[in-house]
Amino acid sequence: MLLQMLPPADTAMLLIDHQDGTMSWVSSIDQQVMKANAIALARAAKALDMPLVLTSSLEDHAQGPFAKEFEEFVPDEFAARIKRTGVVNAWDDPAFAAAVAATGRRILIIAGVTNDVCTVYPTLSALALGYTVHVVADAGGSTNKIADDAALRQMELAGAVITSTNMILTGLAGNWNSPAGQAVLPAVASLIPN
């Protein structure tokens, strides 16, 4: 499947396990870049009034709390995040699966903090259920580059569109002079180096 402009009205955003402890395990991408990308995705979803589903796993263990920056930009979604109790594939958690289904959207943007664990399994589950999935590779990472490459390849072979944060943001904007384009601009600007 080729990259295409994304209609916000038909799309939902899923951000999986962007937790302080889990983020510290990633070495295939700069951790601050990864976190900034995930936050920019959340900001764009909020600005475009898109469904945004957040989930975490074992926040009281080594994975740690969900990154507090999300509370600043998407407080309602942060408060409503689905706190899993250890299930690896977020899709196997009934509350997460129900939250995704409740969006009514068939196009999903998925970013998990670890592409080789948090992202790959729910992506494969969503694809098996007929969803169109865009995986945001640089809003997650893995413990090493080989693991990251293997996960991204597996998801692409299964039918996911592998993309980046800027490609998603511009794909949602469509036209900088449109209402969607203007709404997404602050998220894009947050990623421009000073």
Kindly report the three-state secondary structure assignment for every residue of 120-157: HHHHHHHHHCCCEEEEEHHHCECCCHHHHHHHHHHHHH
Out of 118, 151, 168, 180, pick the active-site residue: 118
Is the separation of the CB atoms in 34 and 139 below 8 Å? yes
- In sign, the C-alpha dihedral spanning 82, 87, 89, 91 is negative
* Ramachandran angles phi, psi of 131, nearest 5°: -75, 150
Structure-token match 């997404």, residue found: 184
Whether 118 is catalytic is yes
135-138: long-range pairs with CB below 8 Å, 24+: 135/110, 135/111, 135/160, 135/161, 135/162, 135/163, 136/37, 136/41, 136/109, 136/110, 136/111, 136/163, 136/164, 136/165, 136/168, 137/162, 137/163, 137/164, 138/29, 138/33, 138/34, 138/37, 138/164, 138/165
Residues annotated as catalytic (active site), given as ranges: 118
